[in-house]
Structure 1
Amino acid sequence: MQFPSRRRKQTSNPQTELYAHPLQFYGEPPLENMSLAEFETFAVDRLKLLKTVENLGVSYVKLSEPYAKKLESEFKNLSFPYRPEADDRKTQSGPNEYDKRRKDHISHFILRLAYCQTEDLRRWFIQQEVDLFRYRFNDLPAKQKLEFLHRNNLQYDTISVEEKKSLLDKLVNSSYAVSGITVEDQDFYKVPFQDALDLVRTRKVYLKAGYVYIPHQDIVTIVLNDFRTRLSKALALTARSLPAVHSDERLQPLLNHLSHAYVGQDYSIQKNVGKISLEQIDSLSGKSFPLCMRQLHQSLRENHHLRHGGRMQYGLFLKGIGLSLEQALQFWRSEFIRGKVDADKFDKAYAYGIRHMFGKEGKRADYTPYSCMKVILSNAPSQGDHHGCPFRHSDPELLKQKLQFYKVSPSGISQILELVKGMHYQLACQKYFELTHNIEDANFSLNHPNQYFIESQRVLGGGKDIKREMDAPQRPQEITAAKGNNAPREAATNDPQGLADMTEDLDSFFQDA
């Protein structure tokens, strides 16, 4: 049996036909005009969705009931198509299905532009999109699954009745949830084994002479492989077109930094400046600093110096937990003069940089602490550096020794290293948090070193954050670009000059993110 190609209906609006099915391979790019504000909103919402997919994929069994329930909730919150809709009419509860499918289509291509730039970004994007596609394909009714295969001209050869009978026992014994009765009632597809590695790895199919025999109910495996292959090739092609895209001065700042963008709480607003004394830092570093900051603090204490990358990462973190400019100058000066830097040299060569962090020099931008994404993906440390993410940038054996030194249990170290192996660096840090605070579930998704500190203080304080008030505002979904601009986003969108000002400040915003 083969799936014949189906001729598409000719319509006056190609987009209507494109969104006729709730799922697609994203083979055709969007061709419509849209505002920069909508462009940003779509990009950030999909990034939030993919981050949720990543977190759930490690915290729960994929496609389990809790996994599906939480992911469906995220689809609803962000207005993405979360289950097939038979009725496309508008309802009072939100946008119609066409609008959701349009958002799904366009947002995928926006993040494609942002995540095609490096091998690590491509690998992360493909994995999350594949997991998202798997969930959505499995959620389709059988009729719509078949329609999807037809629409995408997916042709798979089925084995003959005679071959099925000759392999009956082997198919029953090796195929997941297949009995002798259902073998006769359903098709089996003969597919090269490399197209179904997930099923081979879990021994859910019969393997013979380089081919696997897949029951129709598991066809999602080879559909996923097709999707992964197409997306990988598309990202490579997209990367080649980036120079042309970057020539657009409206998009270039956004696309250059979107992959590093932080979409959680804003830790730039210091409501407790000065409430942490310099004498507390050593103690706090051992119990409430994330591993990246603990590593920087220890290196500073041992060497009495940090290179620029370390000073920026650690200095902004200290600023975020409440150190004032005066305290920061005193802290860095006292440490540096213990090394090879005298007080006069510090004032001439280093004090400017500290004042610059606080917006008192240069362009007077009030820089914010680095998010996990920025620490992981930008300015990788070289020899002699101590900044970066230990889970991303440390040798696994060195990381293991470091965790042992900090008295993490052997089983905990194994869990962390397994997450690191899967490139789930933020989840590895979250596991480190749980192990060092003796809790089973942190009940938050770790996205920021300063978030780690605040959550640690809350746990150690018996549920009360004793160091900083916890009403830090959320960044708007659209990533409000201008620091200190309190005007509503809608006003900027409706005002051409406001939108122009917002665009000009995008680059400085992402530098601070």
Structure 2
Amino acid sequence: MEDTRSRAQFLNASNLKYKPVSREEKNYVVKQLDGLDHMSNIDDIEYYKVPFTEALDLVRNRKVFLQSGFAYVPQDDLVSILLSVYRTLLSQALTVTARALPSMEEDGRLLPMLCGLSKRYLGQDYGARQQNVGAVTADMIDMLSKKSFPLCMQNIHTTIRHTHHLRHGSRLQYGLFLKGIGLSLEEALRFFRTEFIKNTDVDTFDKKYSYGIRYNYGKEGKKTDYTPYGCMKIIMNNAPATGDSHGCPFRHFDTDFLKQRISTFGLTKDGVEGVMKYVKGGHCQVACAKFFELTHGISDSSSEVEMFIQHPNQYFEHSQKLLNGPAKTPSTPRGVKIVNSQTATSRSSGSDTSIKVETMDETMSQEQMQAMEDDMV
């Protein structure tokens, strides 16, 4: 009964006017239907009355009963009809698109927007206004990085701890991520200053690097409150060069090095191969999700991936929920006492405004990098 209801809802949502035949109509043609090879329990099968022109594959293979221009299609063969409809609609859409492309190329505003659609992230922006600003302090970052940071952020964190420096792309990617998990501007300055002054003096840090940190928080330059980078932006934009530590490990790491790196997290050989299977197939975000599930003990190496990672801060949030339980704030790590935490003012705008901000973020983030470089010259 539930399957019948779900099937009817799907057909209605797809604007397909296929209705199951009535009991009276099925009784009328029961002798003909009973003659079909694959039907022994005909009373338990639903049939749909479909114009025969929309069931040509089934007609060609003699799988349906025809009468008065209609094909009586059993429920299990509806997929053939849906596939045919999909192919027709796709062909029509491609034709319309092909005809529209010349006019789009003439309009310089549309083509760049269309080309950038695949790189846009329209999910939650994980801006500081949605977090407990101040709930995470600089002293907690080491512990959080081991438990809840995605591999991309763990890699940057390891770099700054070992070299006491980060290049520009890494500072942007990591600084915005830390902002998104609830690190305040003051704590961010303290964290980066503590590391950087191991290789330079305080005056040099304040003159050369503190500007970029304040810029991320909307205190310098255009005063824009920037949001953390999503996975697609990290994967598709600004690939790391030699000496860089930003980017996506599942996309930008050498295969052998990546395999060795994820082996250090206690994964079994099968677990490592389970992650690498997706890496070799080019499915970076699925590989990250598999890595999450294995390191958090919520799946084994042979099971299918049940979640999908779209954002490093989403990874952190899910990890904290698993470690702390759903009742606690995601940005409040287990075993850490939070002192003088401040609650950010929640966003008062509706969903439309949120979507607008998120859509603009991908464009603004590219401008940010250029603007910061220009301002620092």
Cα distance in 2 for partners of 1:72, 1:328 equals 54
C-alpha separation in 1, matches of 2:8 and 2:276: 30
1:252-271 pair list within 5 angstroms = 254-255=113-114, 257-268=116-127, 269-271=129-131
Q: Which position in structure 1 is the counterpart of 2:258? A: 399
- 2:156 maps to amino acid: L
Structure 1 residue 395 displacement after superposition: 2.3
Aligned partner of 1:511 among 361, 364, 367? 364
275, 286, 289: which is aligned to 1:427?
286
Distance in 1 separating the partners of 2:192 and 2:296: 29
Equivalent positions of 1:479-498 (< 5 A) are 480-482=355-357
Q: In the alignment, what sits opposite 2:184?
A: 324
Is 1:82 matched up with 2:14?
A: yes
| Corresponding residue of 2:168 | 308
1:342-357 pair list within 5 angstroms: 342-357=201-216
Which residue in the other structure is 1:244 paired with? Answer: 106
Contact kept, 8 Å, 1:295 with 1:386, in 2: the verdict is: yes
> Does structure 2 conserve the Cα–Cα contact (< 8 Å) formed by 1:254 and 1:507?
no
The residue type paired with residue 480 of structure 1 is I
Hey, what's the Cα distance between the residues in 2 that align with 1:383 and 1:285? 24
Aligned ranges 1:168-207 → 2 under 5 Å = 185=62
Offset of 1:228 from its aligned partner? 9.4
- Matched residue of 2:287: which SS? helix
Instruction: Tell me the TM-score normalized by structure 1.
Output: 0.50
Candidates 210, 213, 219, aligned match of 1:360: 219
CA contact (8 A) 2:54 2:84 kept: no
For 1:482 and 1:220, locate their aligned partners in 2 and report how far apart those are by CA, in whole Å.
Answer: 37
Cα RMSD of the aligned pairs, angstroms, is: 4.5
Gapped runs of 5+ residues in structure 1? 1-64, 88-140, 159-182, 187-216, 484-505
In the aligned structure 2, how far is the partner of 1:429 from the partner of 1:360? 33
Q: Are 1:263 and 1:479, in contact at CA under 8 Å, matched by a contact in 2?
A: no
Secondary structure in structure 2 of the residue aligned to 1:383: coil
Pick closer, same or farther for the CA change 1:224–1:365 going to 2, 3 Å. same
Q: 451, 459, 474: which one pairs with 2:322?
A: 459
CA contact (8 A) 1:454 1:465 kept: no
Deviation readout 1:105-140 (Å, 9 max, x if unpaired) = xxxxxxxxxxxxxxxxxxxxxxxxxxxxxxxxxxxx
Q: Contact 2:227/2:361 (CA < 8 Å) preserved in 1? A: no
Q: Distance in 2 between matches of 1:235 and 1:300?
A: 48
Secondary structure of 2:131 counterpart: coil
1:291 is matched with which residue?
Answer: 151
User: Larger C-alpha radius of gyration, 1 or 2?
Assistant: 2
- Indicate the percent of aligned positions where both proteins have the same amino acid: 42
Structure 2 unaligned regions, length at least 5: 20-47, 64-78, 333-342, 367-377
CA distance 1:85–1:218, shift in 2 (3 Å): closer
Structure-2 separation of matches of 1:303 and 1:310: 13
CA drift of 1:276 comes to: 1.3
What CA distance in whole angstroms lies between the structure 1 residues aligned with 2:308 and 2:111?
29
Structure 2 Cα separation of the partners of residues 292 and 236 of structure 1: 39
Which residue pairs with 2:36 in the alignment? none
Alignment pair present for 1:436 and 2:325? no
Using the alignment, how far apart are the partners of 1:459 and 1:258 within structure 2?
32
Question: Structure 2 vs 1, CA of residues 411 and 237 (structure 1 numbering), >3 Å: closer, same or farther?
Answer: farther
1:413 paired residue number: 272
| Highest RCO, 1 vs 2 (Cα 8 Å, sep ≥ 6) | 2
1:326 deviates by 0.8
Q: Decide whether aligned partners of structure 1 residues 343 and 232 sit closer, same or farther in structure 2, where only a CA change above 3 A counts.
A: farther
Cα distance change, pair 255–360 in 1 and its aligned pair in 2 (3 A): farther
CA shift for structure 1 position 374: 1.4
